[in-house]
Amino acid sequence: MYRKIRLAVFGILSVFSIVTYNFDEKHLTIIVPSYNNEKWLEKNLRSVFMQKYSNYYVIYRDDCSKDKTYSKACKLVHDLGMQDKISIIRNENRRGKAANLWLTIHERDTGVLIPDDSIIVILDGDDWYPHDGVFSYLNELYQQKDIWLTYGGFKEYPSGRKCWNDTVPQAVIDANSFRKASPAAGSQQRTFYAWLYRQIKLEDFIWNGSFIPVASDIAKILPMMEMSGQKILYIQDTIYIYNRATELNDDKINRANSQWTIDHYFRMKQPYFRLNEPKSLSREVEPIDCIVFVNENRFKSNIQQVKITLQEHLLSIGNLILISNVKDRYKVLTLDGQSFDIKKREDLISIFGHITSKYIAFIDYHKVAHIKNIDLLKVHQALNETQAFGFDLINFQQTNSNLEQLGDNLCAWQIGKKATRFKQCSPINGMVYLKDQITSFIEDRSCANLLDFKKKWQDFCLENDNMHRICLTIK
């Protein structure tokens, strides 16, 4: 999906003259999303490499430019001898800024690891820095102040107009009403901790089945402001040049009504809860327990064959619970190594009580052949990372349309754009869900039995309030 050249060399270290404190250098990850910027790329990258700072790394993403952006960027970095300070990624297809940032920060397709405590610094490919002390300045702010996010500090080129933002009013912070604040809230220079960005759900970057094409900044900055609260800093000093001479500004190439529609859509979403301390996504994974639906004959006969067949299609299976539904009578078989425990006439909550994993996989044994060698450890990792609604093991009649590529064959689809998946094939069969989500649903909806649960869950998945939710699959 992309070509990559790892480029860089260690620059000469010197001390930024206006810095009076000897701070350790925090790690900065400079992400440069770029498209058709051959005219501006030299000014852009030179302003990065001239920084009197050593602990940074640049990820330059050329979004399938039609001009010579990629080749000229590679040549410039080589000529400057900065190969060890930058990776240049070229997309084979146009993805847009929102997708490029998400893929980069979540380490999906670059091969570059970004620590949770690295400070993400966004520099658009047609903008640049005004002097060589910007990184030192940002480092000083993060060292001196208890902050998670900064914004502001730009000056327009060529007009010289200064940043139109201001400090967020205390009343907005107290009421967590950032989505009702000024439309320009959170402008460049945007910086934030990697762990903070990773708390945003994938579904909150998706609009109409795809990563948002315009107004992408609002989708990331509002959730991070809500989670940060008092730990936001508005920068008044000029540390960023916002290029208005280019023809590629969003407001110039996209109709105003499209920007307004998307902006309004994200401002109408529920706000994120305030975080009291840094929070990293869990990277711990474990086998996933499976609930397998079998007919009565299969249930009574060769149990070992069920296990063997499942292991031909799924890796990292946890406990197995086999369920046969005969006139509301359930037979449950839990598999724990070679120890079998048969229970009868259990209610649904008792059945799910046998699940010990964070997620549950639901599998119809007669359709297991549709599952193609999926490692449930990777399923667990993907659900943790994206906080998606569910994971589709079957990929039932999915075409490439309305599938967002997330790297490593992982794809995402929005329920509203693929509703036939849940209409033609049960939203239980071949799906993985969060255990707590399922058990809470059963209790809240008073599901009397398995058939009742399946029907109510299908209705729930197809409710209008869930059309925006995201499921994952392997393509």
User: Picking from 253-267, 327-341, 387-401, which range would have the lowest pLDDT averaged per residue?
Assistant: 327-341
Report d(CA 428, CA 423) in Å as an integer: 11
Q: What is the pLDDT of residue 257?
A: 59
Q: What is the pLDDT of residue 182?
A: 67
Q: What is the pLDDT of residue 18?
A: 39
Give the pLDDT mean for 411-440: 90
Dihedral, CA atoms, 438, 439, 445, 450, nearest 10 degrees?
80
Q: What is the pLDDT of residue 120?
A: 99
Report d(CA 462, CA 416) in Å as an integer: 8
Contact 149, 166 (CB under 8 A): no
pLDDT at residue 19 greater than cutoff 50 = no
255: pLDDT confidence band, cut at 50, 70 and 90? low
Question: In sequence order, what are the residues at sequence separation of 6 or more whose Cβ sits closer than 8 angstroms to the Cβ of residue 152?
Answer: 163, 165, 166, 187, 188, 189, 234, 235, 236
pLDDT per position as a tens digit, 208-235: 999 998 888 889 999 999 999 999 999 9
pLDDT at residue 299 greater than cutoff 70 = no
- Tokens representing 456 are 């109510």
What mean pLDDT is reported for the chain?
A: 87
> Which superfamily is assigned to 2-267 in CATH?
Spore Coat Polysaccharide Biosynthesis Protein SpsA; Chain A (3.90.550.10)
pLDDT at residue 464 greater than cutoff 50 = yes
Burial 366-396 (b: 16+ CB within 10 A, else e): ebbebbeebebebbbbbbbbbbbbbbbbbbb
What are the boundaries of each domain within the chain?
2-267, 288-474
pLDDT per position as a tens digit, 23-67: 799 999 999 999 999 999 999 999 999 999 999 999 999 999 999
Contact 176, 271 (CB under 8 A): yes
Give the pLDDT mean for 151-164: 91
Q: What is the pLDDT of residue 20?
A: 42
Contact 392, 421 (CB under 8 A): yes
**Greater model confidence, 15 or 282:** 282
Q: Which amino acid is located at 141 in the chain?
A: L
Write out the H or E segment, with its range, that includes residue 473.
strand 470-474
Give the pLDDT mean for 81-94: 97
Q: What is the pLDDT of residue 367?
A: 86
**Greater model confidence, 418 or 298:** 418
pLDDT at residue 184 greater than cutoff 90 = no
Q: What is the pLDDT of residue 345?
A: 60
pLDDT at residue 428 greater than cutoff 70 = yes
User: Picking from 102-106, 202-206, 321-325, 334-338, which range would have the lowest pLDDT averaged per residue?
Assistant: 334-338
393: pLDDT confidence band, cut at 50, 70 and 90? very high
**Greater model confidence, 451 or 186:** 451
Q: Mean pLDDT: which of 164-178, 329-343, 345-359, 431-445 is highest?
A: 431-445
132: pLDDT confidence band, cut at 50, 70 and 90? very high
